[in-house]
Amino acid sequence: MILTQHYLACLSHASYLVGDETTGRAIVVDPRRDVEVYLGDAAAHGLSIERVIETHVHADFLSGHLELAARTGAVISYGDAAEVDFPIEPLRDGERLSLGEVILEVLATPGHTPESISVVVYEHSGDEVPYGVLTGDSLFVGDVGRPDLLASAGAGFSAETLARQLYRSLREKLLRLPDATRVFPAHGAGSACGKQLSSETSSTIGEQRRTNYALQPMTVEEFVAAVTEGQPVRPEYFAYDARRNRELHPLLDEHAAPPLLDLDEVLARHAAGAVLLDPREPAEFAAGHLRGAVNIGLQGRFAEWAGDVLSPDCDVVLVGEPDLAPEATVRLARVGFDVVVGQLADLPAVLAARPDLAEAGSRLTIEQLAELRGLEPGLQLIDVRNPGETASGILPGAREIPLATFTRWLAGLEQEDPVVVYCASGYRSQVAASLLRSTGFQDVSDLLGGYGAWAGAGLPVAHDAAGLESVPMPEVGPAAAKAQLDGGGVLLDVRETVEWAAGHAPGASALPMRLVHERRSELPRDRRILVICRTGGRSAAVTEALRGWGFDAANVAGGMRAWAAAGLGVVTGDGARGSVI
C-alpha cells in the first residue's frame, strides 16, 4: 500500500494519495487545487488515480477535485448528503471500496458540516485493525472540527445542532476504531477550522482518546460548550470558497505566469480599481514600495491573509519582485482568487525613476511606541490578532480588530489620527498597516516584534475590559524628582545607550527599557525608583511594570526634556555638559 500525506504548510492543509501497489489503482483525498503534486506522486509509484474523495465541502481553500477529474478522468465522490452542481458518485455510510488488497470504508461523520465523512483505510482486505483513518475536518490532532462555521455563514445550521451531530460522530464512529488506528486529519496548527490544532500532522485513535480535550468523558451539553467557545473569527473568504467548491468553475493552469505590465499599464489598472499587491517580506516592503500597494508577505499565511483583506471580485496587479509572481498567483488561486491580471515588470527601476511614486513604511520599536503613547492622546492602537491570542493580554488601550474582520471596521477609524497596528510578531500588522495606507490613512505604523516584543520586555498588558482604562500611577515633575533623589531615591534612566551617552541626569542609573524585566532583581525594593526617559512615555510603561512587580516607582513627567528645561544638570559619562537627544 502507498499512503502519502501532502502537507501544505501555508494553509495548514493535508491531502492524501492512497494506492494499491498490486493493482496500481489509487485515490486522492481532499486535494489542493494545484494538482501536479499528486500526478507526479502517482506516476512515481506506478499508480493511476481513479477517484477523488472529498471529506466535505471545504471552506478554507478551493479544492482540486475538478482539476484532477479533468486530468485523470477520475470520479468525484462526496458523502451522500453533499449538494454540489457537478456530477459525483456519492458515498454512503458503511460503504466499502476496493482498490485491490487495499480496502476503504466510508464513515458518515457529520458535525463540522452535514455531509462530512471519514475514510477508514485497511492495508489488506482481511485486516481487523485498520491502517488508519482519514478524518477530514471531523477529528484533528488535539482538536475537532469547529461546528460554527456554517452558522456564522448564515447557512441555516446552528452551531449547537452541528456540535451535537459531531459529538455522536466522534463517539459512535471514530472512537469505536481500535486505538492503534492512525489518524490522518485534513488540517494542522494554524488552520481556522479549529482552535487548538497540534503541529503534529498525524496521531492515533488511542493517543487522541487520551489527550484530545474534546474526546474526554463529558455530556453532550458540555461538549457543545467546549467546542463552540473561543473559536477564531471566521475568515472573510470562507463563505466564498464554500460556494465555489459546490460549483463548476474554471480550471487552474498552475504553470501560467501573469503578463508583465509597464508602469503606465499598472497605474491605469489601479485607477480602474485593481489592487496593487506586493508579496515581498515586510522589511523589504517597508524599505520602499509603490505607493498604494498592500503588503502580504509570501512567506507567511499569504493566501489566507489575502482572503481576509482582498475581495475575490477585484483585479490584482502584483508589484513586488517578478520572480515571486508565479508562486503568488498559485497561492491566490488556492483560495479561489483567480484575479491576477498582471505583474509590474521592474519594481527597482520604477522606484528609482519615479520617486514621487515611492513610499516607505513606518515600523516602530517598542521603545518608540511607548514614547508615542505618551505624546499622542489621539493614538489609535489596533490589535489584529485572533481572540484566542488576545485572551493572554493586549497592550493597554488597544482596540481588538482581528485581521479576518479588519476591512469591516475601517470606517470606524479616524483617518486624521495616528494609527499603530500590532499582531503577535509583526507580519499580520504589516498587512493591516499597508491596507490602511492604501485607503487614505496618512500616519500609520506597525510594531516591530508585535505583542511578543512588548510582553517579552515585561511591559504592562491588559487582560480585560477594565484593564483598558488608564491606571493612575505616581508621577512627579523634575523638581520633585530631584528632591526625592536627594532624599535617597534612585533615578532610573530607561533610554537607549546612545541617548544616555549624549546626556543624562547626574547620579542616574542606565537600564534600557527592554532590559528592565530581565534585570529587575538588581533594583532596590527599599527605595523609591524614579523612572525617566526622553519625554515620559517609556518611563510611564516601565513605572507601571515596576509597580506591578511590587516596586515603589514613580514616573518623571516630561522626561529628560523637562529635566533639562527646568535647569537641572545634564552630563555625559566623563562629567562634561551633555544634551538631550
> Are 91 and 77 contacting, i.e. CB atoms less than 8 angstroms apart?
yes
> Are 454 and 397 contacting, i.e. CB atoms less than 8 angstroms apart?
no
Residue-wise DSSP of 378-411? T-EEEE-S-HHHHTT-B-TT-EE--GGGGGGGGG
Q: How many residues does the chain have?
A: 581
CA 70 – CA 68 distance, rounded (Å): 5
Q: Residue 465: is it exposed, middle or buried by C-beta count within 10 angstroms (0-12/13-18/19+)?
A: exposed
Q: Tell me if residue 314 is catalytic.
A: no
Phi-psi category of 531—alpha, beta or left, where left has phi over 0 and alpha has psi -120 to 50? Answer: beta
- Rg of the chain over Cα atoms, rounded to whole angstroms, equals 29
Retrieve residue 141's grid coordinates: 490532532
Q: Which amino acid belongs to residue 86?
A: F
Q: Could you tell me whether strands 132-136 and 182-185 are parallel, antiparallel, or unpaired per DSSP bridges?
A: parallel
Retrieve residue 132's grid coordinates: 488508519
Instruction: Map residue 348 onto helix, strand or coil.
Output: helix
Q: Which one of 10, 193, 423, 533 is the catalytic residue? A: 533
> How is the beta sheet containing 96-98 ordered, strand by strand?
96-98, 103-108, 117-122, 132-136, 182-185, 203-204
Q: Which amino acid belongs to residue 581?
A: I
CA 145 – CA 167 distance, rounded (Å): 11
Alpha helix positions (H), 117-272 = 149-152, 159-172, 205-211, 220-228, 238-245, 263-271
Which candidate, 101, 96, 127, 75, places its Cα nearest to that of 21? 101
Retrieve residue 477's grid coordinates: 515633575
Positions marked active-site: 533
